[in-house]
Amino acid sequence: MKLPPNIKPLPILLEKITKFTGLAFANNIYLRSSFYNDLLKDNPSAESVGILLHEEEHIKRRIKMGMSGFWWGLKYWLDKDFRYQEEIEANRVQFFYLKKQGNNFNLEKRARQLSGYVYLWCTTYQKAIKDLKLIWEKA
């Protein structure tokens, strides 16, 4: 698959110190090398495409809100409710694609991520799992 120039591998340091699979920053998308390299193949996995769609949704939503990458990022990291909502909306797009491809998604793992340190405890596990299950069912 040919990737546009704004899709890049996650810098090695971030790959080593974080658990991010992808990261949207300004108009760029940075993906963990395993997913980035998979997307360069003729037939990338649905998981890799789903992660790309998730990160693209963050950029689309930021643009739709009329926010610069800086202000969106600042609000994202300072406002846990905003961060949670942005992740849920990006998951919605990801889930729709994965379900259409006949793939599953580990909802429990995602709920643990959203309620844990990776996303700075932006919600509870119970809320995350409830919302994710509802989105998956509707996808």
Total count of domains within the chain: 1
7-9 and 28-31 beta bridge pairing: parallel
Would residue 120 count as lying in a domain?
A: yes
Over the stretch 1-57, which tens digit does the pLDDT of each residue have? 999 999 999 999 999 998 889 999 989 999 999 999 999 999 999 999 999 999 999
Q: Which residues pair with 29 in a beta bridge?
A: 7, 24
Would residue 1 count as lying in a domain?
A: no
- Token pair belonging to 24: 């949207």
Would residue 2 count as lying in a domain?
A: no
CA dist 91 and 86 (Å) reads: 9
Would residue 21 count as lying in a domain?
A: yes
Q: Which residues pair with 9 in a beta bridge?
A: 31
Over the stretch 64-89, which tens digit does the pLDDT of each residue have? 999 999 999 999 999 999 999 999 99
Q: What is the pTM of this model?
A: 0.96
